[in-house]
C-alpha cells in the first residue's frame, strides 16, 4: 500500500538560497501534525540544497514553538505578534544576519530667539526626582525618521510645536537596553509656539531656560558627555559650529528617506536639484 503523502509547508524563496515560511494566514494546527509536515518539508529543502529556513510563527501558533525547537530551530527575534525562528541546513557556519542591534533615540535642543532652550524635569527613569533640567529625549518609533521623531517627542512632552533645523551630533554606547547598543542623536529644532503644556504622566516640569544657565548646572559640568553637548549647542548659537540638515531623497528601491549633510553642501545640492 502506498504511503500517505504528507503535504509540505508553503514557502517564499529569499535572495540568499533560503526559504521563508509564514503561518500568518493559516488556521491553528495540531503540534503532532505540524511535526510531520515540518519533517517532510525539511527533507525536501535538503534535497533542493536550500541553506537557511526562516519560520515565522504568529502568536496564534505559539503551540508550535516547542515542535520547531525540537526540529533544530532556534530563536532569531520576537515582535508583539510573532516569533521568528531559524535553522541553517548545510554543514557550514550559518550566515543568518543578526537581529537588530541598536535602539535609536533623540535628545532635542529647542532654542528660541532669546537664546532660551526648552528643558524638562522627568518624573521617573534615571533622572526622575533629581531636579535636573535636561533636554527633551525619547526613542524613535519603528519606521519614523529622526527629524520626525524629534518633533514628536517635543510635542508629546511639552506641547511645543517645532520644525527641524539640524542634526548636531550623535553618540553610540553599548551593552545598554536588553544588552543592545544605543544610538542617541542630538537634534536642533526651532520652536513654532511658546506656551508649554507638559505631559503629566512623564514630565514633572518644563520651562524656557537661558542656555548658559542650563550649561552651568553642576550635573552638566561634572559629566563629560553632557558638558560636551552643551558646548556644541553654545557654539552653534555663536555661529562657530555647523550641523547636518535633512535633505529629502530616495533609496535605490524608491523609498523616500533623508540624507543628513552639512548645511553648505545641502544648499548646493538643493540648488543644483532645482536647476
The cell for 201 is: 504622566
SS3 content of the chain, % helix, strand, coil (to 5): 30, 35, 35
* Residues in contact with 249: Cβ distance below 8 Å, sequence separation at least 6, in sequence order: 256, 257, 258, 259
What is the per-residue pLDDT for 16? 87
Rounded to an integer, what distance in angstroms lies between the CA atom of residue 244 and that of residue 256? 18
User: Rounded CA gap, 212 and 206, in Å?
Assistant: 17
Active site residue 156: yes
Q: Is the pLDDT of residue 91 over 80?
A: yes
CB 37 within 8 A of CB 28: no
Residue 31: HSE in the Cβ half-sphere, 13 Å Cα cutoff: 12
Q: What is the pTM of this model?
A: 0.82
> Which 8-state DSSP code applies to residue 126?
T
pLDDT of residue 263: 72
Instruction: Give pLDDT, residue 178.
Output: 81
- Mean pLDDT, residues 144-151 taken together: 96
pLDDT at 267 over 70: no
Asked if 110 and 118 touch (Cβ cutoff 8 Å), the reply is yes
Task: Give percent above pLDDT 90 in the chain.
Answer: 78
Across 184-212, average pLDDT: 96
Q: Which of 184, 87, 77, 74 has the alpha carbon at shortest distance from 139?
A: 184
Q: What is the pLDDT of residue 174?
A: 93
Cα dihedral angle (45, 46, 49, 51), rounded to 10 degrees? 80
Pairing of strands 82-88, 74-79: antiparallel
Residue 2: pLDDT over 50: no
Asked if pLDDT for residue 269 goes beyond 90, the answer is no
Supply the pLDDT for residue 275: 55
pLDDT at position 268 is 60
The DSSP secondary-structure symbol of 39 reads H
Nearest to 85 by CA among 32, 27, 21, 136: 21
What are the structural domains of the chain?
12-88 (3.40.630.30), 102-241 (3.90.79.10)
Tell me: the pLDDT tens digits for 104-146? 999 999 999 999 999 999 998 889 989 999 999 999 998 999 9
Place of cell 543644483: 272
Gap between the Cα atoms of 134 and 225, Å rounded: 13
1 confidence band (pLDDT: 50, 70, 90): very low
- Look over the chain and give the mean of its residue pLDDT values, rounded to a whole number: 92
> What letter would DSSP give residue 75?
E
Angstrom distances, CA of residue 12 to CA of 52, 65, 98, 148 = 12, 20, 20, 34
User: How confident is the model over 6-28, as a mean pLDDT?
Assistant: 90
Q: Which of 156, 161, 190, 204 is catalytic?
A: 156
pLDDT > 80? residue 4: no
Amino acid at each position: 500500500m502506498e504511503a500517505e503523502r504528507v503535504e509540505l509547508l508553503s514557502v517564499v524563496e529569499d535572495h540568499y538560497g533560503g526559504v521563508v515560511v509564514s503561518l500568518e494566514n493559516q488556521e491553528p494546527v495540531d503540534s503532532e501534525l505540524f511535526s510531520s509536515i515540518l519533517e517532510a518539508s525539511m527533507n525536501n529543502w535538503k534535497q533542493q540544497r536550500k541553506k537557511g529556513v526562516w519560520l515565522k510563527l504568529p502568536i496564534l501558533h505559539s503551540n508550535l514553538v516547542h515542535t520547531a525547537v525540537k526540529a533544530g530551530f532556534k530563536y532569531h527575534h520576537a515582535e508583539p505578534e510573532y516569533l521568528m525562528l531559524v535553522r541553517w541546513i548545510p554543514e557550514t557556519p550559518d550566515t543568518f544576519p543578526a537581529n537588530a542591534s541598536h535602539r535609536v533615540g533623540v535628545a532635542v535642543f529647542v532654542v528660541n530667539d532669546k537664546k532660551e532652550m526648552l528643558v524638562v524635569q522627568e518624573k521617573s527613569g534615571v533622572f526622575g526626582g533629581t531636579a535636573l533640567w535636561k533636554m527633551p529625549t525619547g526613542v524613535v518609533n519603528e519606521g519614523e525618521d529622526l527629524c520626525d521623531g524629534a518633533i514628536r517627542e517635543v510635542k508629546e512632552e511639552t506641547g511645543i510645536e517645532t520644525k527641524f533645523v539640524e542634526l548636531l551630533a550623535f553618540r553610540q554606547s553599548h551593552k545598554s537596553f536588553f544588552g543592545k547598543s544605543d544610538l542617541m542623536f542630538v537634534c536642533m529644532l526651532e520652536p513654532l509656539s511658546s506656551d508649554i503644556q507638559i505631559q503629566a504622566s512623564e514630565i514633572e516640569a518644563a520651562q524656557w531656560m537661558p542656555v548658559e544657565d542650563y550649561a552651568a548646572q553642576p550635573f552638566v559640568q561634572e559629566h563629560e558627555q553632557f558638558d560636551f553637548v552643551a558646548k556644541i549647542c553654545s557654539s552653534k548659537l555663536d555661529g562657530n559650529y555647523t550641523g547636518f540638515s535633512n535633505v529629502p531623497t530616495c533609496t535605490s528601491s524608491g523609498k523616500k528617506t533623508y540624507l543628513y549633510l552639512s548645511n553648505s553642501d545641502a544648499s548646493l545640492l538643493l540648488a543644483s536639484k532645482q536647476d
